Structure 1
Amino acid sequence: MNIERIRQPFIENFPGDFSNNPMQRNTPKVLFATIKPAGFNQPELIAFNEILSKEIGLGKFEDKDLDFLVGNNLPENVKTYATAYAGHQFGNWAGQLGDGRAILAGEITNEAGKKTEIQWKGAGATPYSRHADGRAVLRSSVREYLMSEAMHHLGVPTTRALSLAFTGEDVMRDIMYSGNPQLEKGAVVIRTAESFLRFGHFELMSAQREYNSLQELADFTIENYFPEITSSDSQRYRDFFQNICTRTADLMVEWFRVGFVHGVMNTDNMSVLGLTIDYGPYSMMDEYDLNFTPNTTDLPGRRYAFGKQGQIAQWNLWQLANALHPLIKDEKFLEDTLNNFGTYFWEAHDQMLCKKFGFDQLQKEDEDFFTNWQGLMQELQLDYTLFFSQLQKITPETDIKEHFKKVSYNLLNDQMLEKLNNFIKSYKARLDLNSISKEASLALMEKTNPKFILRNYLLYECIEEISNGKKEMLEKLTKALQFPYQEIYPEFSVKRPSGYDDTAGCSTLSCSS
């Protein structure tokens, strides 16, 4: 890999702490601290994303590159650092936070001029680790490596994963916070993104009343990542905030489209570029449930449940609006923009559902149709992804009970079956209102509804295999996630086996990683 081309534009533009001291502490009035990765003596490569490596300009992997993938023996041009940010966590102000186990290597530019940031996760403590060790375990690293790539191929804006490696260390973790910590295999994942800038970076500068730095950070972000913004003065920052709102709403709609539940939508986990970042206790939807949260830490309140993600995104944007107010200084604009967020989101959401059902355009009656569908899905406990796969296959001869039995997590009694039959009749009647052909309607569904999603139980099985020195399932999942709108491996396109219903890591997870 050509790591000599990596540079550090961020630390060239902002104040930082250059002490190289990993002691956990507050670092007021700075946006980053230089820090060296811990270094690992016995690393072992698990997976390398050669396609991504070539895309971003690093090139082909060679054996000598393993050191770089875990942060060992870095060349002089790589000046590693961690950034400081703040945030609201579960609705409460948490003060200064930061990259607790994420260390940035810098930025690389490919031949087409596209810039990509490169970041280790799990390579050691930083000044922002608080009381943690900065390491990561195998299970969380595998989940981030595979899921970020799965989301990319689903067409959802996201960070991506370059590599996954064992560190050769064991790490102590209490997986369910039950007072029973155990040693687990340590790992490091390299993730990439156009930028890892978060709502929390702006919250920190504003909370510290570092308004000059806040403006410099906003200008830096606009100039590097928002080329469409050409306005000046305070209008420049209005356009900036409006753009973030639009990108965030679009991201939420994409999460709803594929059935992704983030699990921990704190403001420090929100990208200003509208990317999915920080894959922790996430889950793809199995049985449809608007109240489902995969994060045990989110119980019993379910703040970050599937159906609340749009609402929480708006709440988080209110916090960003407060942070950017010193630059915008227009309360009415901020209020109007945030109040309009819901209108934009729901319109985009319903347009998305139209495509999932094969409707060519949204009609007034569709709101009731969608509401009835949601109620049916929850009552019958139908699998979100498999439901649409089966819906596409309906013919006049289809036995509805047998057809949908394989996608229900509930036993379909006569009353439920009657409701399902009535819904299918209403769906067929709604399809008749289309102005496009049946073939065009089906094509619309096929490119909107994935046939393969990376379910938690599949990840669980994959992690178990890797822990035992096997990679067959890793290789199969890596191939399947690249073609989510095809059925590469039919055995993966089934509902979650009942034996995994109550298994930790298969339906719900903790934040432990």
Structure 2
Amino acid sequence: MPEDFPRIAFSNSYADLPPRFYAEVAPTPVRAPRNIRVNEALAVELGLDPAALGSEAGTAMLAGNAVPEGATPLAMAYAGHQFGGWSPQLGDGRAILLGEVIDRDGQRRDVQLKGSGRTPFSRMGDGRAWLGPVLREYVVSEAMAALGIPTTRALAAVTTGETVVREAPLPGAVLARVASSHIRVGTFQYFFARNDIEALRLLADHVIARHYPEIPPSDGRALELLRAICARQAGLVAQWMGVGFIHGVMNTDNTAVSGETIDYGPCAFMDVYHPDTVFSSIDRQGRYAYRNQPVLIQWNLAQLASAMLPLLGPDKDATVAAAQAVIDAVPDMYHDAWLTVFRRKFGLREARDGDPAFIVQVLDAMAGAEADFTQTFRALSEGTPLPPALADARAAWVQRLANEGATPEVRQQEMQAVNPAIIPRNHVVEAMITSAVAGDFAPFHALTEALASPFEAPADSPYRAAPAAGEEVLQTFCGT
């Protein structure tokens, strides 16, 4: 290896699982890789050298042209429900896990290359990614991290010097993605569908050791794992709702058991608030609309519970009842998390019985007034005027604040710490992608840097503006 080749101390626990958990496969080299951006702060967090990652040798590694020492490249096997339809075998069709590292906080993290070529799970796909979705995932995942929402991260993006054919010939790219793990609800479904109880047990043990070490050894540990995953996912979706985020493809193979947001395809943040908002071009029935996300996460978790039934005990009736009780509790888990999120957005320190009705009242008024979701909450937190159509909603908020302990100054500080001034607005992201395809990456770098501080953007930041008439982006697309 060249002297400037990145030195990565891999520690690969998933590769130690039996071979039926994955397919060993190396990335497919590309013609002429070029670095777009290395996430220097994340690299340091992982104990990696940003300069080495940005070097010619590092770019070759990030593109898949060279495999670093200690890596065990593999494509993970999993199944899943996609828009409610069952697929017994999916797996990583265009992503290859290089290996795992222990970060500076002692946490295990996956390093994966997305768009790195065909695998045994590619089916009819080319295993590649084009530049647009790579930059979208980089921007949105890093924005989510800055917003404090659990998410996969973007370590680097590189171009390939090759063309990817979708609706038209497009420039190819590879994203280096970091996650607590890439284990999904669909991973459990994969082995349940094959009646591979041994693999289910190994997988559950691996997930507990990696993500839920607080669960003690006991006969009921599988049920506790199910409950813990449900709580994390319910809390995650509540956080999505608090920033107006719509995932777009909440399939079971896109639901991580770690509780992180994963697989940023046709995702988007709302501009105008409406609970029926859908952006994904492939979600023609509105299955994953904003308002449906809490319902669909319960549905996904019910599929996880079904796949875990063989681990819950020998008495079928008892295990079904126990699993059903956990799934039945998911709406309450979500509701409690949602209330916490929105009380903070409204600057409410005390919990009162009428809060759910008050929050819905304001949201309904926002929908009727076609108010911008982000701007409305930021205006409340900054004390700036709201549109006249929201006068009654503001009055209800002022009335609800009566007898709350915080001073107006403290309340504004607290609200500004949870209500972002800027988000990755669709029209800005699309304009950035258009510029990048034309060879200009300056808008990408500027947007990425601005979104690193979403709560602190100055009043004159261009990223605070809602789209003007004719700028709205109403549909987003999957990168495959």
TM-score by length of 1: 0.88
| 1:452 equivalent in structure 2 | 422
Aligned counterpart in structure 1 of residue 344 of structure 2, from 321, 333, 355: 355
Query: Are 1:217 and 2:207 an aligned pair?
Result: no
Q: Secondary structure at the match of 1:387?
A: helix
CA contact (8 A) 1:293 1:304 kept: yes
Q: How does 1:223-302 map to 2 (within 5 A)?
A: 223-233=209-219, 235-299=220-284, 301-302=285-286
1:144-181 CA distance string (max 9 Å, x none): 1111111001000000001101111111102xxxxxxx
Moved more, 277-286 or 102-111: 102-111
Q: Give how far 1:443 is off.
A: 2.2
Of 453, 456, 473 in structure 2, the residue corresponding to residue 483 of structure 1 is 453
Alignment of 1:297-446 (within 5 A): 297-299=282-284, 301-329=285-313, 330-394=319-383, 403-405=385-387, 417=388, 420-446=390-416
Q: 1:8: how far off?
A: 2.6
> Which residue of the other structure, out of 19, 29, 53, is the alignment partner of 2:43?
53
8 Å contact kept, 1:2–1:57: no
Worse overlay, 212-221 or 470-479: 470-479
Map of 1:398 onto structure 2: none
The reply on whether 1:141 has 2:134 as its aligned counterpart is: yes
- 1:265–1:304 contact (8 Å) kept in structure 2: yes
Distance 1:115 1:393, change over 3 A: closer
> What is the deviation of 1:482?
0.9
How has the CA–CA distance of structure 1 residues 111 and 427 changed in structure 2, closer, same or farther, with 3 Å as cutoff?
closer
Separation in 2, partners of 1:225, 1:351 = 24
Return the alpha-carbon distance in structure 1 between the equivalents of residues 7 and 303 of structure 2.
Answer: 37
* 1:97 alignment partner in structure 2: 90
Post-superposition shift, 1:338? 1.0
% identical aligned pairs: 35
Q: Which amino acid aligns with 1:422?
A: D
| 2:316 corresponding residue in structure 1 | none
Alignment size in residue pairs: 467
Distance 1:297 1:440, change over 3 A: same
Counterpart residue number, 1:507: 474
- Which segment drifts farther, 105-114 or 208-217? 105-114
Q: Secondary structure at the match of 2:417?
A: helix
Aligned partners of 1:110 and 1:262: how far apart in 2?
A: 27
**CA distance in 2 between partners of 1:425 and 1:114 (Å):** 46
SS at match of 1:162: strand
Distance in 2 of aligned mates of 1:507 and 1:46: 28
Equivalent-residue separation in structure 2 for 1:369 and 1:88 (angstroms): 36
Asked whether 1:6 is paired with 2:10, we answer yes
Q: Structure 1 pair 2/76, CA: closer, same or farther in 2 (3 Å)?
A: closer
Task: Tell me the equivalent position of 2:29.
Answer: 39
Report the Cα distance in structure 2 between the residues aligned to 1:393 and 1:155, rounded to whole angstroms: 20
Q: CA shift at 1:61, angstroms?
A: 2.4
| CA–CA separation in structure 2 for the residues paired with 1:73 and 1:308 | 43
Structure 1 unpaired stretches of 5+:
17-29, 175-181, 396-402, 406-416
Q: Distance in 1 between matches of 2:102 and 2:301?
A: 31
1:479 CA displacement: 1.3
Deviation at 1:79, TM superposition (A): 2.4
Q: CA deviation at 1:359?
A: 1.1
* 1:41-120 alignment, distance < 5 Å: 41-62=31-52, 63=55, 64-120=57-113
Unaligned regions of 5+ residues in structure 2, if any?
314-318
Query: Within 2, Cα distance between the matches of 1:71 and 1:198?
Result: 24
1:435/1:110 CA distance change after superposition, 3 Å: closer
Q: What's the offset of the Cα at 1:112?
A: 4.1
Residue 173 (structure 2) pairs with residue 187 (structure 1): yes
What's the secondary structure of 1:422's corresponding residue? helix
Cα drift, residue 191 of structure 1: 0.2
**Match of 2:12, as an amino acid?**
Q
Q: Which residue of 2 aligns with 1:492?
A: 463
Of the structure 1 ranges 53-62 and 109-118, higher mean CA displacement relative to structure 2 is found in 109-118
Match of 1:24 in 2: none
Q: Distance in 1 between matches of 2:69 and 2:343?
A: 53
Letter in 2 for 1:436: A
CA displacement 1:177-220 (0-9 Å, x = unmatched): xxxxx100110000001111100000000110000011011111
Cα distance, 1:375 vs structure 2: 1.5
Task: Give the Cα separation in 1 of the matches to 2:123 and 2:60.
Answer: 27
C-alpha distance in structure 1 between counterparts of 2:341 and 2:8, whole Å: 43
Alignment CA distance shift 1:476-1:236 (3 Å): same
Residues 443-470 of structure 1, C-alpha deviations (whole Å, 9 max, x = no match): 2211111111011111111112222222
Moved over 6 A (4+): none
Separation in structure 2 between the aligned mates of residue 113 and residue 156 of structure 1, nearest angstrom: 20
Q: Distance in 1 between matches of 2:382 and 2:345?
A: 14
- Matched-pair contact (CA < 8 Å) for 2:133–2:478: no
> In structure 2, what residue type is equivalent to 1:393?
E
Q: Is 2:441 aligned against 1:471?
A: yes
Contact 1:56 1:115 in 2 (8 A): no
Whole-Å Cα distance in 1 between the matches of residues 442 and 68 of structure 2?
A: 34
- Determine helix, strand or coil for the equivalent of 1:106: strand
- Aligned Cα RMSD in Å? 1.5
User: Contact 2:152/2:261 (CA < 8 Å) preserved in 1?
Assistant: yes
Does the 8 Å CA contact 2:130/2:479 hold for their aligned counterparts? no
